[in-house]
Structure 1
Amino acid sequence: MNKIKMTALMISLLLVMSIFAGCADNGPQTGESGKTILKVGTDPTYPPFEYTNDANEIVGFDIDLAKALAEKMDMEVEFVPTSFDGIFNGMNAGSYDVIIAAISMTPSRMETMLFSKPYLSNGQVILTRKDAEKISTQEELKGMKVGVQLGTTADTAAEKYADEYGFEVTKFDEIIQTFSAMKAGHVDAIAVDYAVAIEYVQREPESYQISDVMLTNEPIAVAIKKENTELHEKIDAALLEIREDGTLKKISEEWLGGDYTSDIDEELDVVE
């Protein structure tokens, strides 16, 4: 009798599992507007690209970009907040369709995912306190503590050059923590995306300065799951539209105070 009950229970469980499996839909989903949803993975701790404002809204350069692309593709955008150190795994697992989160193009990343045409000039720059002596060469980093965000290309580049130029790398989960650490004197410099450095200097010119040291050249683009070639083509077409109609330039001027979307140097100079 117990065996019969156990068998019946197992059959019931299998039926329930099959029902849920049948309900799972890994294909395109439709939003309240009736349009197909574009799920965007982003890390809302990285101003001016994506961050949460005082009204608890995710805003920034990449957020406006994603909305503009979705509009051109006649899609409804949905943002999926994700920590940067797990953002690529999330896309591969199907949690979202694309990543729009200041993603630098690198050869190794291009082997595992698709990239749109780059939409923003970028490289890893060294930023220091305003009251510090401005540095102009990598050799001047000797003896310094350099803060980076964990898992970023700044992290990779700093690790690469640390032994060669004799500086120490200190890693943080969020980019804002690196700036807080430098203000508190825990780090002497920060390696960070050029656009982020610009934003912080514009916001607090009395606190920060951008050095002449550029560690890399790595333009920023939309990352797309490797096999999703159809979406890749649509995003490139939409990106071309917002470039030609001036929307992309306008977004750059609003968030970065200038146009960093034209004349992008697409020749990668990346540390991996």
Structure 2
Amino acid sequence: MTHRSLSSLSKVAVVATSVLLIAACNKTPTNENTDANATAETGSDLMNRISSGGTINVGTEGTYPPFTYHNEKGDLTGYDVEVTRAIADKLGVKVEFKETQWDAMLAGLDSKRFDMVANQVSLTTPERKAKYDKADAYSWSGAVVLAKKSDSRFNAWESVKGLKSAQSLSSNYGELAEKYQAEVVPVDGMAQAIELVKQGRADFTMNDNLAVLDYLKKFPDSDLEIKLTAPAEEKTGSGLVLRKGDDAVVAKLNEAMQALKADGTLTRLSEEFFGEDISQP
């Protein structure tokens, strides 16, 4: 509603109100807003810790040789673990590993229990790619089918349809088994999966070629063998995985990875755990 005339008192009130409004608009931001702006300018908490030589927290299984496991002395080691330690050295930070079952790994990342995951993670689904970032790959491999030597049913990947596959439900290989329409038998990890196959409670298990080769090398009398191997073009790269949105941290991790490739550290660690360089596709 518009008034065509105002009394002197009304005019004074309007002027006073206008002054207050101008003052409010020019008011210095509160400490809360200032702190928020400062955080945005200086980067994430993780980036700040990396920049200041702090500690990064990394989730890993500790039960998935040769990638992450405990040696005869009880020390946590493995290819992923040692690569992560080498990355931390390049960044000038400390690393603290938090051992977690695979099925709870990404949930722990979501809840910020740790900053990243080092556990042969490949972002193979649109959902994971939309939710997580992965640094440059430090290993390349493909899926294989492991079954009893006497089982002659495996002549093509399509032949696993309807067969029982022992898999961790949320793993890449669990997803692959479902893709080929196998009946998934849930397990906590590779060791349990292999036992179910040996006992005849599952027909096969899918897992990483390198992990399976490591198992067969350690247990040549297991009566198991690789039946199917993924073609070269289907190899996937695994690297450190973290929550989406921290591009500066991913860039730092990639810089460290390039340095480890250049100085031969990745090749040395590959040959130590696998006898060949698995850091190249």
SS at match of 1:45: coil
Q: Does 1:186 align with 2:196?
A: no
SS at match of 2:136: coil
Q: Does 1:253 align with 2:245?
A: no
More helix by share: 2
Identical aligned residues as a percent = 28
Give the TM-score taking structure 2 as reference length. Answer: 0.75
C-alpha displacement of 1:195: 1.7
Q: Does 1:91 align with 2:91?
A: no
Count of aligned pairs between the two proteins: 232
SS at match of 2:98: strand
Change (3 A) 1:115 1:139: closer
Match of residue 188 from structure 2:
173
Q: Gapped runs of 5+ residues in structure 1? A: 1-25, 265-272
Larger Rg: 2
Match of residue 90 from structure 2:
72
Q: Does 1:210 align with 2:226?
A: yes
CA contact (8 A) 2:103 2:168 kept: no
Measure, in 1, the Cα distance between the counterparts of 2:153 and 2:93: 47
Q: Does 1:115 align with 2:130?
A: no
Query: Superposition RMSD on alpha carbons, in Å?
Result: 2.3
Letter matched to residue 210 of structure 2: A
Q: Deviations over 1:156-212 (max 9, x none)?
A: 1111212xxxx4321201211011112222222111122211211222233232223
For residue 262 of structure 2, the aligned residue among 244, 260, 265 is: 244
SS at match of 1:156: helix
1:1-272 to 2 correspondences below 5 Å: 27=45, 35-106=53-124, 107-133=126-152, 135-142=154-161, 144-162=163-181, 167-207=182-222, 208-214=224-230, 217-262=235-280, 264=281
Measure, in 2, the Cα distance between the counterparts of 1:86 and 1:92: 10
Change (3 A) 1:62 1:134: farther
Give the TM-score taking structure 1 as reference length. Answer: 0.77
CA contact (8 A) 1:147 1:189 kept: yes
Structure 1 outlier segments of 4+, above 4 Å = none
Q: Gapped runs of 5+ residues in structure 2? A: 1-43
C-alpha displacement of 1:143: 5.3
Measure, in 2, the Cα distance between the counterparts of 1:44 and 1:177: 14
CA contact (8 A) 1:126 1:211 kept: yes
- For structure 1, which segment, 149-158 or 214-223, has the greater mean C-alpha deviation from structure 2 after superposition? 214-223
Measure, in 2, the Cα distance between the counterparts of 1:206 and 1:130: 11
